[in-house]
Amino acid sequence: MGKSLNDLAKKLQFCEHCGFCRSVCPFLEASNMEESVGPRGRKTLFLSLFEGKVQPTPRLAQKFYMCGVCRACAVKCPQSIDIAEVSVHARHIIIKANALNPFMRKVANSLVKGVEDGDIFGAAATKAKWAKNITIPNDSGTVFFASCMDTSMAYGELLVDTLENFGWAENTLMFLSELVQKLNIIKFLDTFLKRKNEFYRKSLVNTINLLNKLNIRPSYLGNDEPCCGAALHTYGLLDEFTEHAKKVYKIFKEKGIRRLIVHNPICGGIFKTEYPSYVDGWDVEVKHVIEVVAEAIENNGIELQYPEPIKVVFHDPCYLARFMGVVDEPRIVLKTIENLELIEPPHNKRETKCCGGGGVELIYRDVAISAAINRVSELNTGNPDIISSCCPVCALMIKKGIKNLKLKVKYVDLIDLVNNSLNP
């Protein structure tokens, strides 16, 4: 199951205490540079936890859960030490010791139940609704993995907004969230959240439209699509993640699935970088849709034109750039679009800065919002008309940053931009 704790602890002995990781950690910056929250501080705390010098407590949990698992530290570290991995394994130890505070325990329990049912927000009953008017074959070895984050992020946004405004009642709010799921009134909420749902789900429709125009026709599992389980891994629920990943692989093999095309890079990153460590024999190819589009452009010379002159800054999602290793393809596509001027922000490609998500937005909202504001301030460099990315969590946090800074710039998904450029 992943790396052993002994191997992880040995790797940490190579830390040079240079502090390069501190210079790029968005949550250290957002928490007033508190050393124990930064990568170097968490490294020291993990070794003390591993050696039994400190005991798992809710206060210790705070240090490890205030990490977006973004891997910026790993890219900057001369020894390639990944403190994000350290955070995940520390969380696992803390969970096993039952040392979470009541709210975090409720979040963990909710995630386990949601993943098991097929949707982390408990919205499995409506997750395939986006595809009801689209004809998608179901007999292809290539599958479009829609992701419950893309299909149901409107519920996540509602939860984050509510916790942001009524954080003092977080335990009650989590109870109400669980009650909504149990009473099966998700369909009512789906109507109530129509505009938010359309914001996220239209990118899925556009993905299928775009692939069809490129003569690529993947299958879609619809209501049978399992959750990838990324949240279980992120929050340190590694026993549950291991069991779930094996179930997902079994489903894929039984259906003859050989290749996944994803829009959500979180799912893509988990499939590509974590499943091979937790699932024996994992052999499913995983590609982001922008990789497929870039290949089509290079091979077929597709012409793209945006309807009007526009300045766009592209935000590399952490999971796209550092987990999936996809950094050139978005730029290949964007630079092909006539009328579009691409602006590169500070901290781009593999050195991109986290949007403030990564699970922190649910439990340490002030820190997450601060990180989002910091990142959007960078993205607004050059006065772009549009901030674009291709991750539902990045969309959520960037929108929050824009709102807090009262900017006029709009967030538009990368695939929506490309689709609009095919139909000028």
CATH topology agreement for domains 5-100 and 301-422: no
Query: How much is the pLDDT for 178?
Result: 72
Q: How far apart are CA 112 and CA 114, in angstroms?
A: 6
Contact 386, 413 (CB under 8 A): no
Alpha helix stretches (DSSP H) within 166-193: 170-182, 186-192
Answer positive or negative: Cα dihedral of 41, 42, 47, 52: positive
**DSSP state, residue 161:** H
Alpha helix stretches (DSSP H) within 51-169: 58-65, 72-76, 83-96, 102-117, 148-165
Instruction: Note the CATH architecture for domain 301-422.
Output: 3-Layer(aba) Sandwich (3.40)
Query: How much is the pLDDT for 173?
Result: 79
Q: How far apart are CA 353 and CA 280, in angstroms?
A: 33
Q: How far apart are CA 206 and CA 416, in angstroms?
A: 6
Q: How far apart are CA 244 and CA 278, in angstroms?
A: 10
pLDDT tens across the length of the chain (424 residues):
556 788 889 999 899 889 899 999 999 999 888 888 899 999 999 999 999 999 999 999 999 999 999 999 999 999 999 999 999 999 999 999 999 999 999 999 999 999 999 999 888 889 999 999 888 877 788 999 999 999 999 988 998 998 888 887 788 877 777 766 665 677 777 888 889 999 999 999 999 999 998 889 999 999 999 999 999 999 999 999 999 999 999 999 999 999 999 999 999 999 999 999 999 999 999 999 999 999 998 888 788 999 999 999 999 999 999 999 999 999 999 999 999 999 999 999 999 999 999 999 989 999 999 999 999 999 999 999 999 999 999 999 999 999 999 999 999 999 999 999 986 4
CA–CA distance from 421 to each of 112, 132, 198, 335 (Å)? 40, 25, 20, 12
CATH number of the 5-100 domain: 1.10.1060.10
Burial of 249 (0-12, 13-18, 19+ CB in 10 A): buried
Query: How much is the pLDDT for 2?
Result: 54
- Look at the block and give the residue holding tokens 């946004």: 157
Amino acid at 207: T
Return the SS3 of 288: strand
Query: How much is the pLDDT for 424?
Result: 47
For the chain, the structural domain boundaries read 5-100, 103-291, 301-422
Q: How far apart are CA 71 and CA 374, in angstroms?
A: 18
Least Cα distance to 342 among 297, 300, 375, 381 occurs for 381
The β-bridge partners of 3 are: none
